[in-house]
Amino acid sequence: MPGRTLPTLTQAEVESHNSKKSCYVTIGTNVYDVTDFVESHPGGPDLILEYAGKDITAILKDEISHKHSESAYEILEEYQTAFLVTDKLAPNGNVQKKVADSQINDKVNNYVHPRTGMSCEEDLSKETDIANDYKEHKFLDLNKPLLMQVWCGGFSKRFYLDQVHRPRHYKGGASAPLFGNFLEPLSLTPWWVVPMIWLPAVAYGVHLASQGFDTKLGLATSFGGGVLLWTLIEYIMHRCLFHLDEYVLSPIYYKAVANWVSSYLPDNRVGITLHFLLHGVHHYLPMDKYRLVMPPTLFVVLATPFWKLAHSVFFWDWYLATAVYCGGIFGYICYDLTHYFLHHQNLPLWYKDLKKYHLAHHFLDYELGFGVTSRFWDQVFGTELVTVVKTA
The 3-class secondary structure across the chain, one letter per residue, is: CCCCEECEECHHHHHCCEECCEEEEEECCEEEECHHHHHHCCCCHHHHHHCCCCECHHHHCCCCCCCCCHHHHHHHHCCEEEEECECCECCCCCCEECCCCCCCCCCCCCCCCCCCCCCCHHHHHCCCCHHHHHHHHCCCCCCCCHHHHHHHCCCCHHHHHHHHCCCCCCHHHCCCCCCCCCCHHHHCCCCCHHHHHHHHHHHHHHHHHHCCCCCHHHHHHHHHHHHHHHHHHHHHHHHHHHCCCCCCCCCCCCHHHHHHHHHHCCCCHHHHHHHHHHHHHHHHCCCCCCCCCCCHHHHHHHHHHHHHHHHHHCCCCHHHHHHHHHHHHHHHHHHHHHHHHHHHCCCCHHHHHHHHHHHHHHHCCCCCCCCCCCCHHHHHHCCCCCCCCCCC
Q: Is residue 389 part of a domain?
A: no
Residues 294, 234: one domain?
Answer: yes
pLDDT for position 173: 63
Taking the C-alpha atoms of residue 343 and residue 124, their distance in angstroms, rounded to an integer, is: 10
Give me the residues paired with residue 32 across strands. Answer: 25, 80
pLDDT for position 105: 35
Q: How many domains does the chain have?
A: 2
Identify the domain boundary among 40, 60, 86: 86
Residues 277, 347: one domain?
Answer: yes
Which parts are annotated binding residues?
A: 41, 68, 238, 243, 279, 282-283, 339, 343, 358, 361-362
Q: Is residue 391 part of a domain?
A: no
Residues 323, 196: one domain?
Answer: yes
Identify the domain boundary among 57, 86, 115: 86
Question: Which CATH number belongs to the domain containing residue 36 in this structure?
Answer: 3.10.120.10
- In the chain, the amino acid numbered 274 is L
Residues 168, 53: one domain?
Answer: no
Taking the C-alpha atoms of residue 6 and residue 153, their distance in angstroms, rounded to an integer, is: 45
Q: Is residue 113 part of a domain?
A: no
Identify the domain boundary among 63, 86, 109: 86
Residues 72, 136: one domain?
Answer: no
pLDDT for position 339: 92
Residues 202, 140: one domain?
Answer: yes
Residues 186, 332: one domain?
Answer: yes
Residues 82, 129: one domain?
Answer: no
- In the chain, the amino acid numbered 151 is W
Domain, as residue range, for 227: 124-381
pLDDT for position 117: 53
Residues 82, 134: one domain?
Answer: no
Q: Is residue 237 part of a domain?
A: yes
For 199, residues 6+ apart whose C-beta sits below 8 A from its C-beta are: 333
CB 381 within 8 A of CB 231: no
Which parts are annotated binding residues for heme?
A: 41, 68
Taking the C-alpha atoms of residue 33 and residue 31, their distance in angstroms, rounded to an integer, is: 7
Question: CB-hemisphere CA count at 13 Å for 159?
Answer: 11
User: In a structure prediction context, what are the per-residue pLDDT tens digits for the chain, which is 392 residues long?
Assistant: 334 446 677 888 888 888 888 889 998 888 888 888 887 777 778 888 888 888 888 888 776 666 676 667 777 777 888 888 754 433 333 333 333 333 333 333 444 555 555 555 566 566 777 888 888 788 999 889 999 999 998 888 888 888 888 888 887 667 889 998 898 988 899 999 999 999 999 999 999 999 999 899 999 999 999 999 999 999 998 988 888 775 433 344 344 444 444 456 777 888 899 999 989 999 998 888 898 898 898 889 888 999 999 999 998 889 999 999 999 999 999 999 999 988 887 777 667 788 888 888 887 778 889 999 989 999 999 988 875 443 33
Q: Which long-range contacts (CB under 8 A, 24 or more apart) does 377-382 make?
A: 377/231, 377/232, 377/234, 377/235, 378/235, 381/235, 381/239, 381/249, 381/250, 381/253, 382/250, 382/252, 382/253
Q: Is residue 114 part of a domain?
A: no
Q: Is residue 330 part of a domain?
A: yes
Q: Is residue 100 part of a domain?
A: no
Residues 242, 298: one domain?
Answer: yes
Residues 158, 286: one domain?
Answer: yes
CB 186 within 8 A of CB 304: no
Q: Is residue 43 part of a domain?
A: yes
Which parts are annotated binding residues for Zn(2+)?
A: 238, 243, 279, 282-283, 339, 343, 358, 361-362
Q: At what angle do helices 318-344 and 349-363 cross, to 10 degrees?
A: 80
Residues 136, 74: one domain?
Answer: no
Taking the C-alpha atoms of residue 177 and residue 247, their distance in angstroms, rounded to an integer, is: 30
